[in-house]
Structure 1
């Protein structure tokens, strides 16, 4: 970890926090989800760098140590596509591999669809290709009203829920809840934070030191941007129709990932319908994998990532 170099790079008028290790000729850009941050890729950064790649993870705008845009309430997930390409430009990288987790998979796929000349291949964890906009698999329309996405999309509700706790407790609660196989759904008289059992230990692969690191970064950024992007902006039309991701792609899913229970998601993946949009897609399931499979089983995920990257270099 001490060999990871940290810097700030200006992209689209905002200073982004960048963590980097390795000096290979091929770059791998890691895209975090929520409640994650660059640090979520700590195991992958080191392994990929040791395999001869230039490994880069950054905090999306409004997250962690990166600057907030002036009007976060106007931001949409498509802004992160421009941010990824802008980061490549700022680092003078002509073409890179992308690795996206959770919502970070979505701008990664979109970048590959819109700018295939800048993307060698893409790997995603936990999320298949989903096109943001009003018709995106109609997921939101079929979710229970107490579902965490539904609750967090409601202006002010998550702010009031989270505000009852310190930042460290919020991160602990979400990490513990989201490590299970059941979807986080609150009753009418509950908020999402109420689902957390105070006697529940942290997942065995997530240390108190890890929690402290996450908490310190979210104490810097807060949750304002994270609630806007992805949750409150996911239905915003981005002007992209009939997308295709033609670059080689790998989807890694944990069998115990609660995302598999989202309406239509498992059928979309297992039926192969996702390959209508991502034709060169390989899908691998990890039997006991949770939503945080890359932190839970880092050696297995590192192996899958590196084998896939190496295949593209042959």
Structure 2
């Protein structure tokens, strides 16, 4: 199995924005520093706190760097340089117009460039949801940069197997799996963008342990023929972890940027399958950690992937499932997540 060098990962012209510092009033008092750094995307927005070995934090859908707000101070207090980024297409990071500019190869290139632009030669990469897949692929393709990988919610599954779009099309019978729903350009945007804040609130509630629909309710992972995903979101109060100010942050970003950049990640899954064909079945050998939620379908539906970790993650140092936790685990259970991350990081550096 060959290693991908940085020159083989797609590179693009970048604007002269290196070192630009941005501060928000809500963040200026707590030690978080906002920065734009050059990357193959054009620019990547990062938020950092602390000093020490670099830990790069990669969010999932539909979130932003802000999903790591509880981890940044905890990792900084433990002696690490914690850096949360906006994935390309999100927040203040660049949003390339080409739909195929959101493949995993591009996101790996962004991550590696961020490490270099921050003046580091290596990092631990930790990801949640799509960020877990991006983190695992970063470790797989750039072991020279990413010395360890932490995965939250979504287990590692090696590249290969059937074409993703064919797998998803076969799920749900007469209903449509949400991934297939997201893959059609413009379709999900038409549902979400008229009421971004309301849609996000429902989506977060649908997959949070304290607000998700009961077992007898229609599954929010699927869409009925001619319907929308939102029709299956629960009514009622928001999840306990999601304050009005937190929802304002998420909604404000997506109201400004739209959802197309974020949704383009789903629209490149077949391209990823083709790009990574040479890595079919490949393990991630660096030291690793997995943390999932006991009530999260991303964890429970992929139990076979977790069972395969002795082969697929031979460097695994810990695998944990948090009882009674949903999908947004670093926000639902920040203290548990922080403890597990810090214990793992200290073991790595001990």
TM norm. shorter chain > 0.5: yes
The total of aligned residue pairs comes to 306
What's the RMSD between the two structures over aligned residues? 1.9
**Preserved CA contact (<8 Å) 2:107 2:134:** yes
| 1:8 matched to 2:25 | no
Q: Alpha-carbon deviation of 1:224?
A: 0.6
Consecutive unaligned residues of structure 1, counting only runs of 5 or more, are none
Shift of 1:142: 4.0
TM-score, reference length from structure 1 = 0.91
Question: Displacement, 1:13?
Answer: 5.5
**Cα drift, residue 178 of structure 1:** 2.2
Cα deviation, residue 140, structure 1: 1.9
Q: Distance in 2 between matches of 1:254 and 1:104?
A: 16
Aligned mates of 2:222, 2:57 — CA distance in 1? 29
Q: Give the TM-score taking structure 2 as reference length.
A: 0.82
**Secondary structure of 1:112's aligned partner:** helix
Equivalent residue, structure 1, for 2:295: 256
Note if contact 2:293-2:327 (Cα within 8 Å) is conserved in structure 1: yes
Distance 1:207 1:133 in 2: 40
8 Å CA contact 2:178, 2:223 repeated in 1: yes
Q: In the TM superposition, what are the counterparts of 1:183-262 in structure 2 within 5 Å? A: 183-197=220-234, 199-229=235-265, 231-236=266-271, 237-239=274-276, 240-242=278-280, 243-262=282-301
Counterparts of 2:163 and 2:237 in 1: how far apart (Å)? Answer: 35
Which residue does 2:45 correspond to in 1?
17
How has the CA–CA distance of structure 1 residues 190 and 13 changed in structure 2, closer, same or farther, with 3 Å as cutoff? Answer: closer
Query: Contact 1:133 / 1:238 at 8 angstroms: preserved in 2?
Result: no
Alignment match, 2:312:
277
Give the Cα–Cα distance (whole angstroms) in 2 for the partners of residues 93 and 139 of structure 1. Answer: 39
Q: Is residue 8–residue 15 contact of structure 1 (8 Å, CA) maintained in 2?
A: yes
Q: Equivalent residues in 2 for 1:1-314 (5 A)? A: 1=27, 2-12=30-40, 14-24=42-52, 26-131=53-158, 135=162, 139-144=167-172, 145-163=175-193, 165-179=194-208, 180=212, 183-197=220-234, 199-229=235-265, 231-236=266-271, 237-239=274-276, 240-242=278-280, 243-262=282-301, 265-269=302-306, 272-281=307-316, 282-314=318-350
Q: Is the 8 A contact 1:126 1:291 kept in 2?
A: yes
Gaps of 5+ in 2: 1-26, 214-218
Change (3 A) 1:154 1:302: same
In 1, distance between residues paired with 2:68 and 2:176?
Answer: 30
Deviates more, 1:130-139 or 1:203-212: 130-139
Identify which of structures 1 and 2 has the higher relative contact order when contacts are C-alpha pairs closer than 8 Å and 6+ apart.
1
